[in-house]
Amino acid sequence: MDALDLTKAPPRSPNVKLGGLYFLARTIDKLRATLPGGNLGRYYIRGFSSSLLEMLGVEERELRAEVAKATNDDEVVAWLREHTDPSMYDEINEKLSKRNIAGRINDEDFLQKYPFAANLPREMRLFDMLDLDDRALFAKG
């Protein structure tokens, strides 16, 4: 897959489901941004992407290597299904998608990166907050 420049457009929404998993499309985009010629911009792998990989039992370097070799998302999904337990995907989705602002509101690093979160409803899902952040970031430029 080609490298991405995440200073020109955001990664895909965390609400996009790919291969049966939330956040996988976004994680693939961020990994593509770490490939030669890519630019991760203000994004990073730690956080939801690292949580997803940990729950799947996949090392970041392994998935990055597959992303680099693949020609499309379907190849990455096929590799992932061969190296993980797809029966766990629903449980992983539930754990990731239920996270909300209330669970992070006392985290100084979180509030430094997302100061606007302090003014959002505590029950707002973090997936939706990230979508808001992406829209705001790219509406400016």
Residue 82, SS3 per DSSP: helix
- Each domain of the chain, given as residue ranges in start order, spans 1-98, 99-141
Q: Which amino acid is at 29?
A: D
Instruction: Answer yes or no: is pLDDT of 61 > 90.
Output: yes
**Distinct helix (H) and strand (E) counts, the chain:** 7, 2
Cα distance between residue 99 and residue 86, in whole Å: 21
Cα distance between residue 101 and residue 8, in whole Å: 27
pLDDT, tens digit, for every residue of 86-120?
999 999 999 999 999 999 999 999 999 999 999 99
Least confident of 25-29, 47-51, 72-76, 89-93: 47-51
Q: Cα angle at 35 between 25 and 133, to 5 degrees?
A: 45
Instruction: Answer yes or no: is pLDDT of 33 > 90.
Output: yes
Residue 120, SS3 per DSSP: coil
Given the structure tokens 């239920």, which residue do they identify?
98
* C-alpha distance from residue 6 to each of 30, 40, 45, 100, 112 (Å): 8, 5, 13, 24, 20
Instruction: Answer yes or no: is pLDDT of 51 > 90.
Output: yes
Pair 15, 131: CB distance under 8 Å: yes
Query: What is the overall mean pLDDT for the chain?
Result: 96
Q: What is the CA radius of gyration of the chain?
A: 15
Instruction: Answer yes or no: is pLDDT of 21 > 60.
Output: yes
The confidence score (pLDDT) of residue 139 equals 86
